[in-house]
Amino acid sequence: MDSGEGPSSVSQPEGTGATKIKLGDTILLRIPSGDIRTLKLEKDSTINLGKFGSFFSNELIDQPYGLAYDITDKKLTVLPPKGLQEVEDTDATNELINDGQAVQPLTVEEIEALKKSGLSASEIIEKQIEQHANFQLKTEYSKEKYKKRKEAKYSKSFSTVIPTLFNVCEYWFNKDPSRLRDIRPDTLSQMLNLASIRPGGRYLAVDDASGVVVAGILDRLGGKGRLITICDVDSPPAYPVVTHMNFSKEFTTPVMSSLNWATADEDYTPVLPSSEPTSGSYKSDAQKTRLNKRKIASNALFQTRDELFNGEFDGLIVASQYDPFSIVQKLFPYLAGSASIVVHSPQVHVLSDLHGKLRDIPGYLGPAITEAFLRRYQVLPGRTHPMMNASGSGGFILHVIKIYDDPNASSVMAHRHKVKKLRAENTSNTGTPTPVQSKTATPSPTVIEDATMTEAEPMKDHSTNATS
Amino acid sequence: MWSTAREVAAGDLVIIWLTRDLAQPLLITPGKELNSKFGVYRHSDLVGIPYGSKVGSRNGKGFIHLLRPTPELWTLALPHRTQILYLADIAFITSWLNIKPGSRVIEAGTGSASFSHSVARTVGATGHVWSYEFHEARAKKAREEFTQHGLDDIITLTHRNVCKDGFTVIDTVDAVFLDLPAPWDAVDHAKKALRTDRVTRICCFSPCMEQVLRTVTALNDAGFTEITMYETLIRPHQVDVVPPLPTIDIIGAQLKQAEARREAKRLRQIANSRQARGEKRKREEPNEEEMPGASTGDQAMDVGAADAADEEMASSHKKSKLSETESLATAVATAAVPSIPAASLESITPTKISLSKAFPEVRGHTSYLTFAVLVPRSTAPDLSEEEEEKASPVLTNRDTAPAESS
């Protein structure tokens, strides 16, 4: 924790996101089945990928992220990048292929035996194809799919996933969207842009989404600027997503500090154990170090508090399980004029509620709720179509701008409305009723209110219609 | 980039927010006046006012909001020279291409520079953007804009047709964004501009599927991998604050009340007319047979009692005027009884709820975003024929092997 100013010069872009694998990195490995495994890279250990093989951890150190490897005898060979595979169109159809036919005489046991005998994945697959009764009946597309499927089963290979914000967010989202409060990579990127996160900016964040928002802000600050997060625990908050970004300490510590809902309360004085020895002198060196540490921590806390209360932050991002109105109202005083406030929620209800409250309060300009839509396509030659499986929702975003209100400024419309109102009154006095509400598609509140308030007055019409 | 000072100064670019759908850029030039249907403002009066202020018009009618420009506001306010990119696409592309502080990015073409501003903000002073525009007038305009917005250090603008002449840098950038009619013609040039020592990325932005397919082929031929395509949109929601939806209990009670009132009214009318007739008859025929009044009342409460009452009326010429009016009075009293349940009445009083739904009309398509990755060429192994076979074991057809690995 520091006083708030970031380092004067930014480290090389290399520092902001690893391009090479370092010892101690938390890495993501994509295995042939398409799943992703995560592990912390430790020295002189063996990494076991189950049926996809195992290898020595040292093999990965200093490798660039993003390459594919073949595993042989616990050693790695870099695989060339795979291009798209053109498939020749043939006349084959699945006309003659029936479901449920036993087409593969090779049994699981026999395949296991083949594997044990040291046959490579491709050799096993070739054997299976040879034995396959209907393989030649398949379309080329289908053959391709078959090989891909088998390959995913038998090949001993993997690739490392580059820890970009997009990849890390996607990994967490696919693993368990609820831990990210449904923040999908596209939603996250919209939040970061709407909040206008830039290097050197100063931001507030409330992240109960495993730290995905914090990871995003830190990534976009690039080691320069300031981020204060407010959490709901009395110890430094755990932001597990940030771990996967593999930021260096120098990259995050000068930039980020955390408070909680007690220490972020201006009317509250945190209760801290004294950092002065009770007897007036230190009993031991150990005590001295301990008390010094305590002092540094409490100084940092008060500095962060001061910084928050001095305000003028450029933006606020909220992804929290708590009532967003209470959060936004609490932190509103610490935002600068024109600051962006971005609130995410998996439920639109929470945000419409917030919207309904904010729009009546001067100081909040143009609240808007949006939902992100994302569709991914398979673009294989001749086989381009949207993916069969897609995420249902990345949640909803409310964006609003803080302004300094001027209660004396009156709207042009106010003047116009007065004139209109007068006119409207005049026309209604001449006897034309105003059944305007019935035109609106949504159940207009005024109609409902009238119905209940005017004691079944509208029912008269019905009754007269019915009896006459 | 734009001012980060607390207050507006002369020479600043500010965004004037007039309404939710109307924002415009304004270069603060003391001596000038802003004249809009939302009032009259002297630029000099705006100097020294904190960003984010609501400002009233000089004549007291109307107000504006003085906002600090952000690329997102700029996108809403900028002068359109071409079709522009909006938040959903810009944000997604930025994220997929891993553009962040320090990144070096190529953009072609510049167009209305909506994307350029956003990316310049994100890469910051340690990064750089090379922007290319083949339309001379547009390039000139964009250059003026960049200078005015203090982006000269971050963005290098070149007037050039990149499909024909390629880019001005080699082995330099982390990401390339192509918003061109024929991006496939620029793919090979892009490959030369991308740095070879690390994983780099490309995005091609095309509205039509046919363009996507050609782009995919070109990317594949050039050795790009992990080719994928996305479509992203923003669905705006509108919020209505309304009283809680009433329950059918209330409506039911209201209908019952109305029915009772209607019945009471009918009975009253009958009574009135009978009274009138009775008075007439009274004079003629003073003694009458008495009918049980209660039965009249009970029948009045039944559904379809109207018919019965009618019959009764037809045959009750002899009814005593007195008992008739009494029974009608009790009928009126009982008919008025059904009332709205107290509990449901409580629930419909003041508290309001907010309901949201998607806008009826939204943008349905912008463009397809085709992405691909180029792995470091220096680390990719130089494979001999033999090794290649071993490396991609499943490929039976030699022609389908990766065309490029070095």
* A190 and A109 together in one domain: no
Give A219-230 pLDDT, tens digit per residue: 999 999 999 999
Same domain, A123 and A209: no
A77 contact residues in B (CB cutoff 8 A): 381, 391
- In chain A, which residue's Cα lies nearest the Cα of B210? A384
Contact call for B394 and A122, based on CB within 8 A: yes
Residue A1 lies in a domain: no
From the list A66, A151, A375, the residue facing B375 with the nearest CB is A66
Chain B contact for A310 (CB, 8 A cutoff): no
CA separation for the pair A174, A390 (Å, rounded) = 10
- Read off the pLDDT band of B400 (50, 70, 90): very low
Q: Scan residues 123-152 of A and list those with Cβ closer than 8 Å to B.
A: 123, 125, 147-148, 150-151
Q: Do A64 and B368 touch (CB under 8 A)?
A: no
Enclosing domain of residue A420? 412-467
Q: Give me the CATH topology for the region B75-234+366-375.
A: Rossmann fold (3.40.50)
pLDDT higher for A122 or B293? Answer: A122
Mark which of A131, A162, A193 sits at the end of a domain.
Answer: A162
Q: Number of structural domains, chain A?
A: 3
Name the least confident of A115-119, A254-258, B305-309: B305-309
Choice among A273-287, B32-46, B122-136, B326-340 with the minimum mean pLDDT: B326-340
Task: Name the DSSP letter for residue B2.
Answer: -
DSSP H or E run through B266: helix B248-284
Sign of torsion, CA B109 B112 B113 B115? negative
C-alpha span between B225 and B194 (Å, rounded): 14
Instruction: Locate the chain B residue with the closest alpha carbon to A20.
Output: B198
Are A80 and B391 an interchain contact pair (Cβ–Cβ within 8 Å)? yes
**A73 and A194 fall within a common domain:** no
Spell out which residues of chain A touch residue B67, defining contact as CB-CB under 8 Å: 338, 365, 401, 403
pLDDT beyond 80 at A345: yes
CB B380 within 8 A of CB A107: no
CB < 8 Å to B53, chain A: 337, 403-404, 406
- At residue A404, the pLDDT reads 94
Same domain, A180 and A302: yes
Which residue in B89, B345, B356, B383 has the most chain A C-beta atoms within 10 A of its own C-beta, making it the best mutation to test that interface? B356
CA–CA separation, A104 and B66 (whole Å):
73
> Are A248 and A389 found together in one domain?
yes
**A242 and A342 belong to one structural domain:** yes
Residue with the bigger pLDDT between B389 and A416: it is: A416
Instruction: Look at residue A18 in the predicted model and tell me its pLDDT.
Output: 57
Contact predicate A315/A342, CB 8 Å: yes
pLDDT tens-digit profile of A61-96?
Answer: 998 888 889 888 888 999 888 777 655 666 666 677
CA distance B157 to B135: 12
pLDDT, position A101: 66
Do A284 and A140 share a structural domain? no
pLDDT of residue B343: 53
CATH 3.10.330.20 fits B13-69, yes or no: yes
Residue B325 has what pLDDT? Answer: 52
- Rounded CA separation B122/B102 (Å): 9
- Whether A84 is in a domain gets the answer yes
Domain end residue (candidates: A107, A127, A162) = A162
B213, A384: Cβ pair inside 8 Å?
yes
Listed in sequence order, the residues at least 6 apart from B324 whose beta carbon sits closer than 8 Å to its beta carbon are B271, B274, B278, B291, B293, B296, B316
Nearest-CA neighbor of B31 among B14, B11, B48, B17? B11
Cα gap B79→B13, rounded to integer Å: 14
Amino acid at B79: P
Which range has the worst mean pLDDT, B189-198, B205-214, B385-394?
A: B385-394
> Do residue A398 and residue A451 come from a single domain?
no
At residue B300 the predicted structure's pLDDT band, cuts being 50, 70 and 90, is very low
Higher pLDDT among residues A414 and B96, named by residue = B96
Q: Kindly determine whether residue A348 and residue B356, on different chains, have CB atoms separated by under 8 Å.
A: yes
Contact A157, A322 (CB under 8 A): no
State chain A's mean pLDDT as an integer.
81
* CA A154 to chain centroid: 33
Residues A256 and A327 in one domain: yes
Residue B350, pLDDT score: 58
Residue B136 assigned to a binding site: no
Is the predicted pLDDT of residue B72 greater than 80, yes or no? Answer: yes
Question: CATH code at A116?
Answer: 3.10.330.20
pLDDT value for A433: 38
Cβ separation B216–A84 shorter than 8 A: yes
The interface residues of chain A toward chain B in range 246-265, judged by CB-CB distance below 8 A, are none
* Residue A382 predicted with pLDDT over 90: no
ipTM value, please give it: 0.79
Residues 54-83 of A with CB under 8 A from B: 63-67, 70, 77-83
The mean pLDDT of B265-279, rounded to a whole number, is: 89
Spell out the SS3 assignment of chain A.
CCCCCCCCCCCCHHHHCCCECCCCCEEEEECCCCCEEEEECCCCCEEECHHHCEEEHHHHCCCECCCEEEEECCEEEEECCCCCCCCCCCCCCCCCCCCCCCCCCCCHHHHHHHHHCCCCHHHHHHHHHHHCCCHHHCCHHHHHHHHHHHHHHHCCEEEEECCCHHHHHHHHHHHCHHHHCCCCHHHHHHHHHHCCCCCCCEEEEEECCCCHHHHHHHHHHCCCCEEEEEECCCCCCCCHHHHHHCCCHHHHCCCEEEEECCCCCCCCCCCCCCCCCCCCCCCCHHHHHHHHHHHHHHHHHHHHHHHHHHCCEEEEEEECCCCHHHHHHHHHHHEEEEEEEEEEECCHHHHHHHHHHHCCCCCEEEEEEEEEEEEEEEEECCEEEECCCCCCCCCEEEEEEECECCCCCCCHHHHHHHHHHHHHHHHHHCCCCCCHHHHCCCCCHHHHHHHHHCCCCCHHHHHHHHHC
Q: What is the DSSP letter of B153?
A: T
Nearest CA in chain A to B402: A83
| Higher pLDDT, residue A408 or B205 | B205
Nearest to A324 by CA among A304, A305, A352: A352
Name the residue type at position A418: K
Average pLDDT over residues A317-327: 97
Mean pLDDT, residues B208-217: 95
For A229-264, write each residue's pLDDT tens digit: 999 998 889 899 999 999 999 999 999 999 999 999
- Whether pLDDT at B304 is above 50: no
Chain B contacts of A460, Cβ < 8 Å?
Answer: 258
Tell whether A235 and A383 lie within a shared domain.
Answer: yes
Q: Are B253 and B340 in contact (CB under 8 A)?
A: yes
Q: What is the mean pLDDT of chain B?
A: 82
Whether residue A88 lies inside any domain: the answer is yes
pLDDT attached to residue B341: 56
The whole-angstrom separation of Cα B232 and Cα A370 is: 13
Per the domain annotation, does A9 fall within a domain?
Answer: no
Contact check, Cβ <8 Å, B124/A224: yes
**Which chain B residue's Cα is nearest to A335?**
B52
What pLDDT sits at residue A460?
A: 34
Q: What residues of chain A lie within 8 A of the CB of B1, using their CB?
A: 198
- Which residues of A are less than 8 Å from B65 in CB distance? 365, 401, 403
Chain B residue whose CA is closest to A220: B100
pLDDT of res. A417: 53
- Across B167-175, average pLDDT: 96
The label of the residue with tokens 């995913």 reads A152
* Lowest-confidence pick of A106-120, A162-176, B47-61: A106-120
Q: How many CB pairs under 8 A join A and B?
A: 333
User: Which one of A379, A402, A425 terminates a domain?
Assistant: A402
Q: Which residues of A touch B399 (CB under 8 A)?
A: 86
Q: Is residue A297 part of a domain?
A: yes
pLDDT grade for B294, boundaries at 50, 70 and 90: very low
Return the CATH number at A376: 3.40.50.150
Q: Are strands A364-380 and A396-402 parallel, antiparallel or unpaired?
A: antiparallel
**% chain A with pLDDT above 70:** 80
Let me know whether A342 and A428 are in one domain: no
- Give chain B positions within 8 Å (CB) of A396: 237
Q: Which residues of chain B are within 8 Å of residue A449 when distances are taken between CB atoms? A: 243
Among A110-114, B111-115, B125-129, B227-231, which is the least confidently predicted range?
Answer: A110-114
* Interchain CB distance below 8 Å, B126 and A408: no
A150 — pLDDT class (breaks 50, 70, 90): confident
Question: What per-residue confidence (pLDDT) applies to B339?
Answer: 64
Residue ranges of the domains in chain B? Answer: 13-69, 75-234+366-375, 248-345
Measure the CA–CA gap between A367 and A399, rounded to whole angstroms: 6
For B380, the 3-state DSSP assignment is: coil
Q: Is B133 annotated as a binding residue?
A: yes
Distance from CA of A83 to the nearest CA of B (A): 5
Cross-chain CB nearest to A222 (options B4, B38, B126):
B126
pLDDT band (50, 70, 90) for residue A147: confident
Tell me: do A437 and A342 sit in the same domain: no
pLDDT reported for residue A89: 60
**Where does the pLDDT of residue B197 fall: very low under 50, low under 70, confident under 90, or very high at 90 and above?**
confident
pLDDT band at B278 (very low <50, low <70, confident <90, very high): confident
Q: What are phi and psi of B375, to 5 degrees?
A: -80, 160
Dihedral pair phi/psi, residue B102, rounded to 5°: 95, -10
